[in-house]
Structure 1
Amino acid sequence: MPRSPQPQYVPLVEVIRSGFREGVHFGTVVGLRPQGEIGYVRGDAQAPMLPRSSAKPFQAAAALRAGARLEPAHTAIAAGSHSGEPRHVKTVVGMLTEAGLDTDALRCPADWPLDRSERDRLLRAGGTPTPLLMNCSGKHAAMLAACVAGGWSTDDYLDPHHPVQGLVRQVIEEMCDEPVAHTTVDGCGAPQLAVSLAGLARGLQAMTRAPASSAEAQVLEAMREFPEYVAGEGRVDTLLMRRLPGAVAKMGAEGVLAVAAPTGEVAAVKLSDGDPLFRARTMALLSALEALGADVEPVRDLGTSEVRGAGEPVGRLQPI
């Protein structure tokens, strides 16, 4: 059995309500200095973990390496977890069309848009969940485009032994500089590969250092150019990249977030409770970047969160 990082998690963020410590978010956070060495760590950053959607930049790079012809916006949404906004849906349809495929080729599950207003609009119109609306459909469309470019089968592109998934594994192990510890199935049905949190941070930093002509550099440049396709309006990934020009940010399910600062520092965090309200991981990560010397002032408000009672602020979250 793979080693679980649970026993190595440490207190990172506490919830204070009216002066009372209501709860604590446990997790692990690691920060790399621009030169690559670990300059900040809380908990065991070497234990295997699942990066979840924070691995999408690696998966998008694999699609480009396979020969997928993706425009910059297509590349950004391939590396993203889109909100299901109309522009996102249009972009994914365009990716499939250019590959000679239709939406029936998608093997991700049907879902509602992450964007609440768009979900409400579809509900009022009598709409239903579809694979196209699922936040990972851009990644799946890129994998399908890679299959077409490589002359590979498309029906089984989610099989861990499929050539496109083998290329994803190669990119992850190369960038993260460690072997994959375990293979699972992600929420979207694609293989999910376990690496350490330090490995995830190393991998993102390696992508920032990749030659300009490389698939890895193209992915990050597309994310910086089109941050609204990496997540969506009002979401942390998009806001971080808009307010810190040159930064790259990618969130993952179950409390994961990885960010590369414009000045070369990289931090990654994993919260053991999954951070379901999306309010603690950004605080822990920005604390790590600031400790490394990165300028986080333009996004400091994203690392704060009020605790409310009767509609009024009665407390706060704060780093431990």
Structure 2
Amino acid sequence: MTDVRAGQGWPALRVDDWEPTRRSLHMWTQIVGKVRLAHAPLLNHWWQVPLYVSPRGLTTSAIPVGTESFDMEFDFVDHVLEVRVSDGGAATIDLRDNSVASFHRAVLDTLGSLGVEARISSGPNEVDPAIPFAEDTHVGYDPAAANSFWRQLVQADRVINRFRSHFVGKVSPVHFFWGSFDLACTRFSGGLAPRHPGGAPNCGDWVMEEGYSHELSSCGFWPGGGDEGAFYSYAYPEPAGFADAAGLPDGAFYDEALRQYLLPYETARQAEDPDRAVLDFLEFTYRAAADAMGWDRSALESDPNRWGHKAGPS
């Protein structure tokens, strides 16, 4: 396996081939994400807690701490965690040869040395079993696999942001949720939703109640679905007829167990035009949800090129 860098397109990465690395990154992103959660003020639907795709990996963006701010960034090119504080302090943690427990200790020690208080919950969410970070001796980090995973996220983030640009209603950023370990973007009608029943492992029902408080259509990329991961789309509450919408793009299907539409990543990767394959999937599944729920699409959608005729040379 070799690094897949900018300009080389959509990398192949079989889920079975990088499971030890995937497990490490899932736990490590939870540790870093919980640090952000501990400091950032609540935003609707937990929008203050995710990570974001960056030109080097995954970043928290700026986090407030007292009168300063700091950030943390997984760099999947040099394979370090960068920690930077607005007072000039900085440090790095090497991602190689770290267990979950040693990474957890290194993060807390590093933040302490930079004057950043870090008290987070002791274990992960949305997984079972939830081994406390300090007791998790799992080791596994393949730099090439981590780089390929990031390159998958770069492609997914880029295309989903194109899809997002057509919506002028309430819509989330394209962001990486560390609990479920997926890249997501969610559109909202503005209407309230019925109370979510919860049920995620090692995660309070109140967390899901906040996340799903309003009627939505959500999509994203999950690196754990299918042979190479999958693009997904679902609605909450799921309307009648959503699962049976006519005209589903080739290669996509509705998963009854997950109650989601899925497009395998390898199907998109092998398509003549991967961008178009993903966009067709996202647009079809959104329309199926919005039409079945009776959304006012004329008020919620617009052409992102609506000012193009006004633009001069940049």
TM-score normalised by L of structure 1? 0.31
Q: Which structure carries more helix by proportion?
A: 1
Larger radius of gyration: 2
TM-score normalised by L of structure 2? 0.31
For CA contacts below 8 A with separation 6 or more, give which structure has more relative contact order.
Answer: 1
